[in-house]
Amino acid sequence: MKIILDKNRILQPISKIVSITEKRSLMPILSNILIDFGKEKTTVYSTDLEVSAITYIDFVTDIEKKVVVHGRKFLEILKELDNEDIEFDFEDNVMTIRQKMTEISLSLQDPEEFPETKEITGKEEFTVPGSILLEMIDKVEFAVSVDETRYILTGMYMRGHDGRVAVVGTDGFRMALYQKDIDGLASFQGMTIPKRSISEVERVIGENEDVRIVIDDKHVQFSTEKMKIISRIIEGNFPDYENVLPSGNTNIAEVDREALFKGLKKVSSIIGRSEPVKITFGNNSMTIEAESDIGRAKEVIAVKYEGEEATMNFNVKFLIDVVSHLTSDEVTIAAPKAYGAVLFKAKDMEGYKNIVMPIRI
């Protein structure tokens, strides 16, 4: 079987799904992609058993054929070829790629060994604009845990209720919550989506695309016109994020976001990226201090402050993460009188809240 395809017609779909393939796996077949040439459409599949992708190549053929080829090597070859037609020749278990004076042969695997990858149909479905979905992921993904011992926290929690969708990321020491009203959104039960799956969705979804989300008991599917990402859902009960939000914090500071960000960056220059900084509020000022075996640093920022004089220590990376995701000119910081969670929010982003636990020293 021989086919001729323009390079750019096949390169873009392949490049979107190859990252899902396993680099090192006990199942070598997972390093491959499956290309299903058909009479109505050509479909490409990729999976690592946790997350799968389905995309389409704008090509049809009278002869149906399934091909399983090493995904990353195939993509590398396509990238190096000229932006012209490529001839693909399939014979026995070999695919030969030809263009001008170039000829490259790749071994093919048995399509029967490739794990079944199919679309899901669920009892809950809704549509979200791509720009909103990408914004939701960006606002909470940084707070998702990487600690496998608390597995339920290694994903982004997502829930719909009364026309509002909420997404949450937490590692037990900090939490990011983003809520957004979406017209026509029906309520759906909460689910925890693995961070890797969320990263794949973020990578392949376009801002101008509508994303159809389908949920069943164990999987969630994100679909656009040309792409589908299917992920398993992490089993278990996600923490009750609403009860974690502090409501009685009476020490309130309003600070210029840019000044706070620059102050944290300056002071953190003498310490490690996850070491503590000391924050002191009082007399309409905010003092940021850090100390290490190479020296000391201090930055004083003018703020509007109501409350008692208060001193707290924080992981500096957590603070920088929060401030860099708050996009308004001014940040409100609400701290309790005693030890407890500190709330960070932007005045013009009511649906976005971050909490960070101080460090006991």
Q: How many CB atoms lie under 10 A from the CB of residue 76?
A: 11
pLDDT (tens digit per residue) in 277-286 = 999 999 899 9
Beta partners for 78? none
CA angle centred on 239, ends 155 and 340, rounded to 5°: 110
Looking at 113, 147, 167, the residue that finishes a domain is 113
Q: Say which residues have a Cβ less than 8 Å from residue 157's Cβ, sequence separation at least 6.
A: 166, 167, 168, 169, 190, 191, 192, 193, 238, 241
* CB 58, CB 14: distance < 8 Å: no
- Mean residue pLDDT of the chain comes to 94
Q: In this model, does residue 165 exceed pLDDT 90?
A: yes
Residue 74: inside a domain, yes or no?
Answer: yes
Q: Which residue has the tokens 């926290």?
A: 153
How far are the Cα atoms of 134, 171, 228, 276 from residue 199, in angstroms, in the given order? Answer: 10, 17, 14, 29
d(CA 213, CA 124): 8
- pLDDT (mean) for 125-151: 94
Are 129 and 237 in the same domain?
A: yes
Are 280 and 308 in the same domain?
A: yes
Q: What is the pLDDT of residue 207?
A: 92
Count up the domains in the chain and report the number. 3
Q: In this model, does residue 25 exceed pLDDT 70?
A: no
Domain that holds residue 140: 124-243
Q: How many CB atoms lie under 10 A from the CB of residue 136?
A: 23
Q: What is the pLDDT of residue 270?
A: 94
Burial class (CB in 10 A: 0-12, 13-18, 19+), 123: exposed
Are 137 and 89 in the same domain?
A: no
- pLDDT (mean) for 267-292: 93
pLDDT (tens digit per residue) in 90-109 = 998 999 999 999 999 999 99
Are 144 and 239 in the same domain?
A: yes
Residue 361: inside a domain, yes or no?
Answer: no
Are 132 and 238 in the same domain?
A: yes
pLDDT (tens digit per residue) in 295-305 = 999 999 999 99
Are 141 and 157 in the same domain?
A: yes
Q: In this model, does residue 329 exceed pLDDT 70?
A: yes
Residue 105: inside a domain, yes or no?
Answer: yes
Looking at 59, 89, 113, the residue that finishes a domain is 113
Q: Report the CATH number at residue 101.
A: 3.10.150.10
Are 156 and 79 in the same domain?
A: no
Q: In this model, does residue 24 exceed pLDDT 80?
A: no
d(CA 164, CA 179): 7
Looking at 214, 243, 272, the residue that finishes a domain is 243
Helix (H, G, I), strand (E, B) or coil at 218: coil
Q: Say which residues have a Cβ less than 8 Å from residue 64's Cβ, sequence separation at least 6.
A: 36, 37, 38, 39
Are 129 and 231 in the same domain?
A: yes
Residue 119: inside a domain, yes or no?
Answer: no
Predicted structure pTM score: 0.91
Per DSSP, the residues of 135-196 read HHHHHHGGGS---GGGGGGGEEEEEEETTEEEEEEE-SSEEEEEEEE-TTPPPEEEEEEEHH
Per-residue confidence at 338, pLDDT binned at 50, 70, 90? confident
Q: How many CB atoms lie under 10 A from the CB of residue 288?
A: 22
- pLDDT (mean) for 266-287: 92
Per DSSP, the residues of 149-166 read GGGGGGEEEEEEETTEEE
Residue 118: inside a domain, yes or no?
Answer: no
Burial class (CB in 10 A: 0-12, 13-18, 19+), 275: middle
Are 217 and 259 in the same domain?
A: no
Percent of the chain with pLDDT over 90: 85
Are 179 and 213 in the same domain?
A: yes
Are 218 and 268 in the same domain?
A: no
Are 260 and 343 in the same domain?
A: yes
